Amino acid sequence: MNSNEMKVIATIHTDFPTKFGIPRQSGIVESLKAVIVFEPEYRNPDALRGLEEFSHIWLIWQFSQAVRKHWSPTVRPPRLGGNTRMGVFATRSPFRPNPIGLSSVRLEGMDLHTEEGPVLYVSGADLMDGTPIYDIKPFIPYADNHPDALGGFTQNTSGHTLQVAFPAQWLEQVPEDRREALTGVLAHDPRPSYQDDPERIYGMAFAGLEVKFRVKDNVLTVCSVSREA
């Protein structure tokens, strides 16, 4: 079998130190902020010339926490309850022959002259902190937008959101510039779809915080917010 080495060109830094809580698709929570830092070999400002003219970019990245030696032709998408099997190539599951992800994010800005070389500021990313980036490409509206596209099984699950009850005593523990993003993440229900115990308390790491919550009758209630130990 032919194979080519994929080079990591950059690393993304986000508010998610673990996989739990990360939005299931990019762009769902637009207020999530992230920074892309290039590897030394690719810290050449000329490589980004013209990118500032685009509002969105594609990130091609590695599911670095889901690398396996073997693959399965079918997977269980979380949004189908974790029981229904679909073909791996009909899903965006991380468990694939090649653990490669694809995300469309908004390019908020660029700084070509930092101590770490050129950096990109993006929003709406669905990646864990430290995820390796293989490539960056501009999002081209006339070619990448398909208004008549069908969403398959995702059309029945994409609108699922929760009402978030965030008591003031806990909201005050969240930095002001992170509150909208955290609330958005919670509204999109971080739980696995097959878990629906109204008494269970879930914990999620976000931006140096430990956020605990429970869900009952489509309402997510934040139980506590504390600094991670």
Q: Give DSSP secondary structure letters for 117-138.
A: EEEEEEES----TTEEEEEEEE
- 130 and 176 both lie in a single domain: no
The CATH number that applies at residue 219 is: 3.30.2310.20
Flag whether 4 is in a domain: no
- 180 and 136 both lie in a single domain: no
- 60 and 169 both lie in a single domain: no
Residue ending a domain, among 85, 120, 144, is 144
The per-residue pLDDT for range 47-98, each reduced to its tens digit, is 999 999 999 999 999 987 766 778 888 988 777 767 788 899 988 888 888 8
d(CA 104, CA 23) in angstroms, rounded, equals 13
Residue ending a domain, among 144, 178, 202, is 144
The CATH number that applies at residue 123 is: 2.40.30.70
Flag whether 111 is in a domain: yes
- 169 and 220 both lie in a single domain: yes
Looking at every residue in the chain, the average pLDDT score rounds to: 91
The per-residue pLDDT for range 166-194, each reduced to its tens digit, is 999 999 999 999 999 999 999 999 988 77
pLDDT above 80 for 223 = yes
Split into its structural domains, the chain has a count of 2
Pairing relationship of beta strands 219-227 and 163-165 according to DSSP bridges: parallel
- 29 and 120 both lie in a single domain: yes
- 107 and 18 both lie in a single domain: yes
**Residue appearing with tokens 């999620």:** 204
The per-residue pLDDT for range 89-123, each reduced to its tens digit, is 988 888 888 889 999 999 999 999 999 999 999 99
- 55 and 166 both lie in a single domain: no
pTM: 0.91
Which residues span the domain enclosing 31?
10-64+99-144
Q: Name all contacts of 7-10 with Cβ < 8 Å and 24+ positions apart.
A: 7/41, 7/134, 8/39, 8/62, 8/132, 8/133, 8/134, 9/38, 9/39, 9/41, 9/42, 9/133, 9/134, 9/135, 9/136, 10/36, 10/37, 10/38, 10/39, 10/42, 10/132, 10/133, 10/136
The per-residue pLDDT for range 11-55, each reduced to its tens digit, is 999 999 999 999 989 999 999 999 999 999 999 999 999 999 999
Query: Do the beta carbons of residue 72 and residue 10 sit within 8 Å?
Result: no
- 36 and 106 both lie in a single domain: yes
Flag whether 165 is in a domain: yes
